[in-house]
Structure 1
């Protein structure tokens, strides 16, 4: 197999992964809180080829050695934490994060024995609901639209008394107002837990707009830092009630990248076809 076929086939594999990533970004252009992914490429290998000795002629400036590339590969798919635009919904349970943060939620997954076990996950989607608690009829639980529990600063699911309307402060504190007694002062029932994303490239996509941490991670604080009053002074992370964050995907940019990658893929596929044709011609000449 000649060098051009190896080079092109390796590059086509990386370009296919880039195409899949662009398709995922475009498909989630209207997903609440979605963060687009960007691809990073690097050379697979570069070797130094030597020209024959007879190539060295008096007055010729071309070097005897030249670099021979062997294609490129995708080395990283990193999530871009750029802020998406905010859309007003007038729903008091819709919230949007301003800043480089995420909500912490509690979901359930099945283990090897098909048993449900709790798992911590994170999301930017702030479209919440109040769900009745089976244990206490006077208590409602703050959940996502998929039924996952929204965690509070005390690492417990956020609970709200029944027949109370909520007001969510920028720092995540939830103030509950009694609908039956309009003169009663509000009570602070919980505070939504927020985390600051330190290393987005280490987050793993769980599906349904959720993220988790890689297994075996020694220190979670190296990737996600719990937000508190002490560390939220610089580059603050706040919550805006009555808004939802839109996807940060810019469709025009994604389509431009898509056309460029398609052209690169087409060029490499033609190189593979040309290499195959040349090898077929060489094989026929030898057999003839």
Structure 2
């Protein structure tokens, strides 16, 4: 029974690791995506320190034999190493050189029916001009509709699209006129933040103040006309996929052998 429990627990963890690898491969071409690595941890183990006198004379193993209960997927950690640069020469494409995240806002209606903003962090700089919902003018938005915000948390808006220029320090110019100052924000441990899909993290906001008021500014610089590609290494992920499949096959075979042994034990008992 112990071997059956160990192999079953291992199969659960291996399946989760397989899903993680598949997710990395699926996002190999996603702009600004950061790969996740799976790490395993040991389940509860026991130590056989007190053995019967007869048993201890017949055993070759020393006292204190450790009996494990298998392993499980401990966590999937985000690899924050930068991706490669893809030159696009599109003025609304922005890339972060170094540390930092773009801050975007997503409008929603709260429980009272009032319009409010939810702040999110992302490394994806594939912005575009779009007309603001219910408001005059245009703004820089993500492909899923979130607004790129300035240093006070308001959407960077323009009366009409024009010649856009953004300095490495985040100063936004339209047709030569300064219209906004944007910032990059620092995240010490992105694994502590909630992933909300679309390659975005939920920004840690408080009830009584907006995110830009208390989040730390990052030291990264902005490069206009370029995008950061995913940091997924396809060859490495394929190698990991083969290892995970082998581990799955091994544990499946162990379950089959355990089932056969239990069947033999049952047949011997019935005789």
TM exceeding 0.5: yes
Report the CA distance shift for 1:12/1:150 in structure 2 as closer, same or farther (over 3 A). same
Residues 41 and 163 of structure 1: CA distance in aligned 2, closer, same or farther (over 3 Å): closer
Aligned 8 A contact 1:101 1:194 in 2: yes
Distance change in 2, residues 1:34/1:172 (3 Å): same
Counterpart position of 1:164: 162
Instruction: Tell me, in whole angstroms, the C-alpha distance in 2 between the residues paired with 1:55 and 1:207.
Output: 57
2:250 aligned residue: 267
Cα distance, 1:213–1:192 mapped onto 2, change above 3 Å: closer
The root-mean-square deviation of aligned C-alpha atoms, in Å, is: 2.7
Return the offset for 1:62.
Answer: 3.5
Could you tell me how far apart the structure 2 residues matched to 1:90 and 1:216 are? Answer: 38
Residue pair 2:120, 2:201 contacting (<8 A) in 1 also? yes
Q: 1:61 to 1:281 in 2, by over 3 A?
A: closer
Once the two structures are superposed, what CA deviation does each residue of 1:22-48 show, in whole Å capped at 9, x if it has no partner? 000000000000000111211011101
For residue 105 of structure 2, what is the aligned residue in structure 1?
Answer: 106
Structure 2 counterpart SS, 1:156: coil
Give 1:202's match in structure 2, choosing from 192, 210, 215: 192
Residue in structure 2 matching 1:276, options 253, 259, 262: 259
Contact 1:204/1:214, CA 8 A, preserved across alignment = no
Alignment of 1:202-221 (within 5 A): 202-213=192-203
Structure 1 unaligned regions, length at least 5: 178-185
Q: Distance in 1 between matches of 2:155 and 2:210?
A: 20
**Correspondence 1:78-97 to 2 at 5 A:** 78-97=77-96
Q: Which whole-Å CA distance do the structure 1 matches of 2:167 and 2:205 have between them?
A: 34
Aligned to 1:135: 135
Going by fraction, where is strand more abundant, 1 or 2? 1
2:224 aligned to 204, 223, 241, which one? 241
Deviation at 1:122, TM superposition (A): 1.3
Structure 2 length normalisation: TM-score?
0.89
Write out per-residue CA displacement over residues 4-28 of structure 1, whole angstroms, 9 at most, x where no aligned residue: 1111111111111110000000000
Superposed CA deviations along residues 231-281 of structure 1, whole A, max 9, x for unmatched, are x5xxx3111100011000000010111111111111111111111111111
Q: 1:163 offset after TM fit, Å?
A: 5.0
Give the drift of 1:52. 3.6
For the 8 Å contact 2:101–2:185, the answer to whether it is kept is yes
Question: Where do 5+ consecutive residues of structure 2 fail to align?
Answer: none
Q: Distance in 2 between matches of 1:220 and 1:270?
A: 54
Matches of 2:142 and 2:100 in 1, distance apart?
Answer: 17
| Alpha carbons of structure 1 residues 107 and 220: separation in structure 2 relative to 1, 3 Å | closer
Q: Distance in 1 between matches of 2:205 and 2:159?
A: 36
Residue 112 to residue 6, structure 1, CA distance change in 2 (3 Å):
farther
1:113 Cα deviation after fit: 9.5
In 2, are the aligned partners of 1:202 and 1:213 still within 8 Å (CA)? no
**1:16-31 paired onto structure 2 within 5 Å:** 16-31=15-30
For these two proteins, the number of residue pairs brought into alignment is 266
